[in-house]
Amino acid sequence: MRRVQGLITSSAAVIALLACCGQASAQGYRMTVDQNTSSLNGSVAVSVRFTGSMIGNYNVTTNPTGTRTNPGSSIVAAPTNNPVPVSGTGGTGNPAPTVSTKPAGTYYLNVNAPGQRITVAGLNANLIGASPQPALPVSVSITYATFRTFAPNYLYTWFGFPIPVSLGNATVQAMALSQDTVVTGTLTLSGPNSYTYSLQVPCTLSTTILVQGSAVPNVSQSTLTFNGTVTLNGLNPPTVTGTLSIPTNITQTIPPTPGTPAPFSLPPPPFASGPNAEVLLTADIISPSSATVSGTTSLPASGARLNPADIAQSNGDGGPNGVNDEGDYNLFFNSFFLPPNEPLRLFADLAQSNGDAGPNAVIDEGDYNCFFNNFFLP
């Protein structure tokens, strides 16, 4: 798209922009999620494969009575304490553990009730919010070659049966959902000053899960359905209330992640009894490993009307972003001087003829005055 001195100069290009943003005259709002009523109800399933090693927690100085390990069946004396190669699979099991949190976040709306259009932009949601970090019980099956432990004294002989053990809890340290692109769709009247909408929105899910001492970050992209409601509070409304309901079923591929040595209680071998052997387990996560987040996120929110001059993204695409900049300037003037039959012209319909904010389907001096009276305000 060609620009001259920062302005879009081609009417055909302006119409192409309209096809991208799909929005006419509207009121912009910054929506803040209400954590008292927001919710994420669902599950997080983790499936991992790993290789690594176990070594006794023995230390000749600080823990001389601790467990020692050694590969093979030979009996060795202290201070011998050698790592034992292991591998395995595991996860959170089936059914997946449930997760219930109260998300926090913000997003932007551009509401054009007469034109039955709505734009959603800039969603950023912390899906854990102020809730406790979810804990996910993890169990694994460990595969090994023959080895011995000392204190307690056990011989682990490989008979083709993995050792099923619990690794305790994996912790979801972070889980965030962000919107990748501005999306516009149809606004449907559902009651007095109340509307519904449903949009397909490209999003990014970011998670960090702590597994056996190793923080495993991951990022994945997916297109999610945003089912929303909007209620306009009053004539030329200064505020709106609404809800986003977002069904989610995203599987993330967990990348290979080096393990961190972590204390681990190894149960006795099959057909033996006695105390657990205390070791340090280093589990390097390998492919294929994955995490699946399923459930529904509900984001009740309220918003105050933005500065009337905030009509565009910084690149000039329609939809507020909480900033007055060149994008708003470009879109307003490219809309203001278009012929009356150009739909994009309605982007310049910001005000009544006296300059008061609120569209009136007429492009005149009132819109010009409203834009410049507000453009330079904080």
pLDDT given at position 26: 56
Q: Dihedral of the CA atoms 153, 157, 162, 164 (nearest 10)?
A: -20
Same domain for 79 and 134, yes or no, is yes
Find the domain containing 295 and state its range: 29-308
Q: What is the pLDDT of residues 316-338, one digit of tens each?
A: 776 677 788 888 888 888 888 88
Contact 291, 44 (CB under 8 A): yes
Same domain for 2 and 66, yes or no, is no
Whole-angstrom distance, CA of residue 280 vs CA of residue 53:
8
- End residue of a domain, out of 262, 277, 308: 308
pLDDT given at position 344: 66
pLDDT given at position 276: 96
Contact 311, 350 (CB under 8 A): yes
Same domain for 209 and 328, yes or no, is no
Same domain for 277 and 304, yes or no, is yes
As a 3-state breakdown, the chain gives helix, strand, coil percent values, each rounded to 5, of 10, 55, 35
Our count of domains for the chain comes to 2
pLDDT surpassing 60 at residue 6: no
Whole-angstrom distance, CA of residue 364 vs CA of residue 42:
51
| The one-letter amino acid at 316 | G
Same domain for 178 and 138, yes or no, is yes
Whole-angstrom distance, CA of residue 189 vs CA of residue 312:
25
Q: CA distances (Å), 257 to each of 29, 144, 207, 218, 286, in order?
A: 42, 20, 14, 11, 7
Same domain for 127 and 39, yes or no, is yes
pLDDT given at position 15: 30
**347 or 257, greater pLDDT:** 257
Same domain for 284 and 316, yes or no, is no
Q: CA distances (Å), 348 to each of 195, 319, 326, 333, in order?
A: 24, 13, 15, 7
- Token duo for residue 227: 């089912």
Contacts of 273 (CB under 8 A, 6+ apart): none
pLDDT surpassing 60 at residue 235: no
Same domain for 287 and 349, yes or no, is no
pLDDT given at position 343: 60
Q: How confident is the model at residue 236 (pLDDT cuts 50, 70, 90)?
A: low
pLDDT given at position 154: 97
Q: What is the pLDDT of residues 190-233, one digit of tens each?
A: 998 899 999 999 999 999 998 877 788 889 999 999 999 999 88
Q: 366 has which bridge partners?
A: none
Q: How confident is the model at residue 14 (pLDDT cuts 50, 70, 90)?
A: very low
**115 or 243, greater pLDDT:** 243
- End residue of a domain, out of 308, 330, 347: 308
Same domain for 254 and 274, yes or no, is yes
Neighbour count for residue 5 (Cβ, 10 Å): 5
- Token duo for residue 55: 């070594």
pLDDT surpassing 90 at residue 100: yes
The pTM is what? 0.72
Q: What is the pLDDT of residues 15-53, one digit of tens each?
A: 333 333 333 345 788 899 999 999 999 999 999 899 999
pLDDT given at position 16: 33
**141 or 165, greater pLDDT:** 141
Averaged confidence pLDDT in the chain: 85
Same domain for 136 and 228, yes or no, is yes
Same domain for 276 and 320, yes or no, is no
Contacts of 366 (CB under 8 A, 6+ apart): 351, 352, 353, 354, 355, 356, 360
- End residue of a domain, out of 288, 308, 328: 308
The proportion of the chain whose per-residue pLDDT surpasses 70, expressed as a percent, equals: 88
Conformational region of residue 20, where left means phi above 0, alpha means psi within -120 to 50, and beta covers everything else = alpha
Same domain for 197 and 294, yes or no, is yes
